[in-house]
Amino acid sequence: MIGHTDNEIEIDAPIGFVWIQTNDVRDWPNLFTEYASVEVLREDATSVLFRLTMHPDEQGRVWSWVSQRSCDRDTFTVRARRVETGPFEFMNITWSYQQIEPDRTRMRWVQDFQMRPDAPVDTAGMTDRINGNTPGQMRAIKERVERRRRRPVGFTDVPSNTRRGGDLRTIVAPGTVGSSAGFCGAVRLRPAERVAEHYHPYSEEFLFLAEGELRIDLDDEPVFLAAQHGLLIPRNVRHRLVNVGLTDALAVFNLCPLAPRPELGHVDTEPGPAAEPAAAPLAPATS
């Protein structure tokens, strides 16, 4: 007899975010309620070999085994198998993900297995046990993934991007909270520092200057922005940010909609980074 289970759940989050959150095996102890630790033994771009250790059961026994997991991001499919089979003759698992809506994903787990003759439970019993346990784990994962979409993210919680100049942080984004319509962040510029010219083929940019003074070059036309002022940068408009003040400038940006792929969102039109003396203002920044 071959055991077979098939369980699914819908998670209120974009498919890419659910994929990232649920396939980071190092984070599984924070995602599942039954796992105590994960030790990654070997990994590459598409697969990971790891040891999984559970919390002690009712009798105080600790179960641990090694699994191999292979991920196909193009099809949103994961195939896994137990390398150390323990009481199983074999255990093969397939995870699949389906986008239902931009903010809703169906996650499905299919398990095929057979128990060893000397196992403490037979195949039918293990089928019942998995079908009893899996829905609870899926509910816990759903609740934790959805909660992560609502968590505050700080400026220093995310890595700095200095490629175009300045200290730029993408804070609320598909990768951090699973946003599906756009993203926002902030950039800090020292006096005379700039963000190199670029444009966005798919997105409008909404810029709010929280602190300092900026010159924004829009298709080579300078616009001066004072603190507590905002500016729209339309699609396909080349723009460069230059700190023309005597103190640091802190600008908050929001871009939407998202580009089809992240690498298509920005087109550079000059090299960066560069901290260079700013050109003399053509007009004073106004309040």
Predicted confidence (pLDDT) per residue in 136-192, tens digit: 999 999 999 999 999 999 999 999 999 999 999 999 999 999 999 999 999 999 999
Q: Give tens-digit pLDDT for 86-131.
A: 999 999 999 999 999 999 999 999 999 999 999 999 999 999 999 9
Mean pLDDT, rounded, of the chain: 94
The tokens describing 17, both together, are: 């975010």
For residue 230, which of 176, 172, 184 has the smallest C-alpha distance?
184
Q: What was the pLDDT predicted at 272?
A: 85
pTM of the model: 0.83
Pairing of β 194-199 and β 221-226: unpaired
The candidate with the shortest Cα–Cα distance to 137, out of 9, 4, 3, is 9
Intrachain domains 3-148 and 155-268 with the same fold: no
Q: In the chain, where are the structural domains located?
A: 3-148, 155-268
Task: Write down the CATH number for the domain with range 3-148.
Answer: 3.30.530.20
Distance, first Cα to last Cα, the chain: 77
Q: How far is CA 170 from CA 154, 182, 232, 251, in A?
A: 10, 11, 18, 12
Show Cβ contacts of residue 162 under 8 Å, excluding neighbours closer than 6 positions: 168, 273
Q: Indicate the range of 53-67, 95-109, 184-198, 202-216 predicted with least confidence.
A: 53-67
CATH second-level architecture of 155-268? Sandwich (2.60)
Strand order through the sheet with 204-211:
167-172, 183-189, 249-256, 204-211, 229-233
Whole-number pLDDT of residue 57: 84
Q: Which two tokens stand for residue 123?
A: 């195949």
Radius of gyration of the chain (CA): 25
